[in-house]
A and B are shown apart, each in its own frame.
Chain A
Amino acid sequence: MKKSILLITALTVSIAGFSQSLFDKYENMDHVASVIVNKSMVNLLASMGENTDDPEAREFLEVARGLDQLKVFITEDTSTSSDMKRSVDKYLKSSTMEELMRVKDDDTYVKFYIKSGKDEHHVKELLMFVTGMDNLKVGHDGRNIETVLVSLTGDIDLRKIGTLTNKMDLPGELKRADKKGE
């Protein structure tokens, strides 16, 4: 009996660890630009903005409070891009994510995946994967962005994603999940 409990714990721990580690390797890669925001940062921001009067900021904090972690990976490198695609595929297979929507715009593919949450508007995880942006020039120096991976975890209200993207300068594509959530 004890053994089986131990085994189950070990398994869950390794699965939880595994699902994280799939993307962890991109955090320190040279060809990958990344932003990782953790729960403590969210809490910190929330407590710092507690006394704000700005209604927009208030709404933003309300949404942000539900976040556990935010990860953004951007790469311009072709081989890293395909590696990232493999990781995403692997991750989707290993977790219970379902496709929310798929958008094709010229050569650009945008895919959204969600892990359902407490009700139809809330999700536990939102994953956005954008590929094929080769012809898109972004930023002042006309950087060529190839692939973008955005992962949000926590208790996320899909209807309010727009507030987040506006405030945090996240890729605008994420806003599309907003409309879908309504």
Chain B
Amino acid sequence: MILKYSVAVSVIILSACSSTQSLQEYYVDNAENPNFISLDVPTSILNLEKADLSEVQREALRSLRKLNLLAFKKTTENVAEYTTEKAKVNSILKDKEYVELMKLNSKYGKGVIKYLGDEDAIDEVIIFGNSDDKGFALIRVLGNDMNPAHIVQLLQAIQKSDYNGEGLGEIGKFLKG
């Protein structure tokens, strides 16, 4: 009897999951939308392959895949879209799968930080901020089993090294056109 119920429940849960849009799908769907600004930065652009890193730091670097940004710029013409799109992102993020780290609310705007995966093996960090004056921004750090302690070590190593952001300069050039 219990088995029957649990099967029924899990079927419902599974079917519910598959019908909701994932954040990735949302990103892909809207990358071309004129209301959005999207940016996809792979970690390889940092050009750290030759840097002097320890094995742990190298592994941390490998676990990082890319940074993903999707921003909605609010104007007087797209108020309705802003409201629907914001609601869409919020409903995607409501999924229990996304573990909430912290949440902020002030008169300047709202923000939430969530992640996917395990505490010491994070697959995705999501930062979602919105301000009713300016619009919203969805930032995702994508990777594979990212270990926060190791990432910090990597960042410290980058700071200490003579890395002068050649890769980042490329992005700057690209943005300036």
Contacts and interface: CB of A to CB of B under 8 A. Distances in A.
Interface of A: 27-29, 32-38, 40-41, 43-44, 47-51
A48 B148 contact: yes
Given A40-B101, A44-B101, A44-B119, A33 B152 contact: no
Contact of A41 (B113, B147, B151, B153): B113
Interface of B: 99-107, 110, 113, 115, 119-120, 147-149, 151-153
Between B100, B102, B120, B151, the greatest number of chain A beta carbons within 10 A of the residue's beta carbon is seen for B102
Contact of B148 (A28, A36, A38, A44): A44
A29 B99 CA distance: 21
A37 B100 CA distance: 9
Given A33-B105, A37-B101, A41-B113, 9 more contacts: A27-B103, A29-B105, A33-B106, A35-B103, A37-B102, A38-B100, A44-B119, A44-B148, A49-B152
Contact of B105 (A27, A37, A44, A49): A27
Secondary structure dominating the interface of B: strand
Secondary structure dominating the interface of A: mixed
A43 B102 CA distance: 12
9 contacts: A28-B110, A33-B107, A34-B106, A35-B103, A36-B104, A37-B102, A38-B99, A38-B101, A40-B100
B152 A51 contact: yes
A32 B100 contact: no
Contacts of A48: 148-149, 151-152
B105 to A, nearest CB: 4
Nearest to A26: B105
A34 B110 CA distance: 9
Between A36, A40, A41, the greatest number of chain B beta carbons within 10 A of the residue's beta carbon is seen for A40
Nearest to A70: B102
Contacts of B149: 47-48, 50-51
Nearest to A29: B105
Contacts of A32: 105
A40 B126 CA distance: 14
B119 A38 contact: no
A51 B154 CA distance: 12
Nearest to B103: A36
B105 A47 contact: no
Contacts of A44: 101, 119, 148
Contacts of B152: 48-49, 51
User: 7 closest pairs, A vs B, by CB?
Assistant: A41-B101, A36-B103, A34-B105, A33-B106, A47-B149, A48-B152, A37-B102
A150 B55 CA distance: 43
A70 B105 CA distance: 14
Nearest to B104: A35
Given A47-B120, A47-B149, A51-B149, A41 B107 contact: no
A32 B104 CA distance: 10
A34 B115 contact: no
Nearest to A33: B106
B89 to A, nearest CB: 14
